[in-house]
Structure 1
Amino acid sequence: MSGLRRFVEEKIQLLEKAIDQCFAHIAQPLQEGVRNARTSYRRILGACLVRSRGNQGFHQTLKAVCLKNGIYASRTLARIDLNEAITQPIYDRIDPVFGGIFRVGTSSGSALMPHIDAFKHSLQEKMTEIGIRNGWKYDSYKKSFLIQEISAILGGLEGHILRKKRRIYESLTSSVQNDLKPCYEEAGQITGKKACERMKDVIRRGVDRQVAEGMFERAQERMQHQFQQLKHGITEKVKGSIATMLTLASSQGDGLYKELADVKSEYKEMEKLHRSLREVAENAVLRRGMQEFLLRMSPSKAGPPKT
């Protein structure tokens, strides 16, 4: 058992290193994207705020953009997302690598799932080896149960990874949106003469200020933090689930079945409850019979005395 536990711990450490190496591929394009965003955000923002027909009709649209923290979707106009627009240079750099990390069915060095699959296969091979050594040759149920348990544990990770993938990807725009929220709120409150131009000025100044204070760098750090959270989530889920598998693997003889759900105590409680209910029902029948007997024997219910 101790040898198996050491084996699993070593494999988990190797998995952590493999995940780190996998996620490390995003660092350089992310850094390059931040540099590109810093040099191009004014041009991109200007293109979003300037309309070929002037400000006619754009005032209300821009106000709606500010009230929605930089995003406005209209049935008649193209969708406006200032946060996404100014972070697009970052996405342009990271998209190929990001897609490669989360791509399923590829064995490239940057892909995550092959490392999960390799970890799964190594555990299954070890369990088969232990099964042969412990005489599971004639207990195919135990062997197949444990191997299927490993597949179920690690198969569930894929759904967890895919759910986190979207949060990681959107962390850039979410970070920028959060930093720009005060300037959106300020611009959204502007009314009166030349309100549209004044709103644009507030947005431009607000973005300039946040960029100078490291807005894109903060977005970079938050994305990297999300990657680290994903790694932590994967390893913690694996450790917790494998602990159950190790308990099953250490069982001897009928030990495996002892680890399965034991319903004896629940069955005894159900029997006890059934007896109690039956006694209540029987008592109710007896009481009803006694009441009927007493009613029949009651003088008030009896007929007039015969003469």
Structure 2
Amino acid sequence: MYFKVETKAKVHDKLANNLKNALTELDRQFVQIYENLDKCLSEGVQNSVRLCVATAQKELIEPDNRDNRGFHKTLKALCKNKGHYWSKNWCMILDLNECLATHMQESIYEEFNQIFPVNGETERSLQKHLDKVSIIQSDNTFCRSSMLYHIQNFIKTRENKLKASLGRKVINRKKEIYSSISTTIREKMGTGYEKAAKIHGKNTLKKMQKILSDTIESLKDDMFNEAKTEVLERFNNLKLEIKDAFESEMKRSMEPFHLHTGKTTLLGK
């Protein structure tokens, strides 16, 4: 199937303009999501700074329901393993990093589940915004042409395959973005864990407890702000990858209509 040079140029220009508009709209949606996430994270930082030491002491460092005669071994094992401990029979799993991340995770939980819902879509879900983006518009002035109908189908098929691929990327990145809070905390707490793990002799438990509490106290402002920054950076990286992938793939799909001289078959090959 062939079409005139003028028509081909018109098709390409229309699709290029639609792509520009689609990328602008996608960016606008990402900015709104980013701002909402930033607000929730800021609240999480404040709550974490205010409550983290008391929470860590109550839940893990100095719990009331532990037998201190053996707990020093558990706490030392936790420190040697960068804040994570599990018993040999898996009946006990302790994680100080997750404990410290609790208040930030609670602050973003609702918003995060709106952005990355477990099932289906929400009004604010990233997948919903992706599904809405298209360079084939319902009011396309070329849609009545049989030839251009095939063009639209070709583009739409490529677009749908891309969206499915990007959807899988979003799912894979969801856990990575969320868990970056505890990952950042683990890295920041590293020196404190190493120092506590080296303690031995008399009053080992009390000394380890003090080191951990003091480390949290000294790091809390920088640690939680850095965790916030890490979440936002990872989300922004996801945005850039999605936009770049959408733009490059759609431009490749438009290539058969790009040249403005000679006759060209509809799909090239």
TM-score, normalised to structure 2's length? 0.85
* 1:2–1:124 CA distance, 2 compared to 1 (3 A): closer
From 235, 240, 246, the counterpart of 1:227: 235
Structure 2: tracts of 5 or more residues without a match: 1-11
In the other structure, the counterpart of 1:289 is none
SS of the counterpart of 1:3? helix
Distance 2:98 2:136 in 1: 44
Please list, as runs of the form range in 1=range in 2, the aligned pairs for 1:19-34 lying within 5 A after superposition: 19-34=30-45
How far did 1:247 drift? 0.9
Distance 2:92 2:180 in 1: 23
- 1:102 matched to 2:116? The reply is yes
CA contact (8 A) 1:127 1:146 kept: no
Give 1 or 2: higher helix fraction: 1
In the other structure, the counterpart of 1:237 is 245
- Matched AA of 2:128: P
How far did 1:127 drift? 10
* 1:53–1:150 CA distance, 2 compared to 1 (3 A): closer
CA contact (8 A) 2:158 2:253 kept: yes
From 107, 112, 135, the counterpart of 2:126: 112
From 18, 36, 45, the counterpart of 2:47: 36
- Matched AA of 2:199: I
In the other structure, the counterpart of 1:159 is 168
- 1:93 matched to 2:102? The reply is no
RMSD value, Cα: 2.2
- Matched AA of 1:30: L
Identity %: 22
In the other structure, the counterpart of 1:180 is 189
Bigger shift: residues 4-13 or 149-158: 4-13
Distance 1:72 1:129 in 2: 63
Query: Which of the pair has the greater relative contact order for Cα pairs under 8 Å at 6+ separation?
Result: 2
- Matched AA of 1:92: E
How far did 1:249 drift? 4.5
From 177, 183, 196, the counterpart of 2:205: 196
Please list, as runs of the form range in 1=range in 2, the aligned pairs for 1:112-151 lying within 5 A after superposition: 112-120=126-134, 123-125=135-137, 129-130=141-142, 132-133=144-145, 135-136=147-148, 140=150, 143-151=152-160
Distance 2:122 2:187 in 1: 37
From 19, 27, 38, the counterpart of 1:16: 27
* 1:237-293 deviation line (CA, Å, top 9, x unaligned): 1111111111134476425133xxxxxxxxxxxxxxxxxxxxxxxxxxxxxxxxxxx
Rg (Cα) greater in structure? 1
From 63, 70, 73, the counterpart of 2:83: 70
In the other structure, the counterpart of 2:9 is none
* 1:151–1:127 CA distance, 2 compared to 1 (3 A): farther
- 1:206 matched to 2:215? The reply is yes
Structure 1: tracts of 5 or more residues without a match: 259-307
Distance 1:199 1:208 in 2: 14
How far did 1:10 drift? 2.2
SS of the counterpart of 1:72? strand
TM-score, normalised to structure 1's length? 0.75
CA contact (8 A) 2:18 2:136 kept: no
In the other structure, the counterpart of 2:3 is none
How far did 1:146 drift? 2.7
How far did 1:145 drift? 3.0
- Matched AA of 1:50: E
- Total equivalences in the alignment: 251
In the other structure, the counterpart of 2:268 is 257
How far did 1:178 drift? 0.7
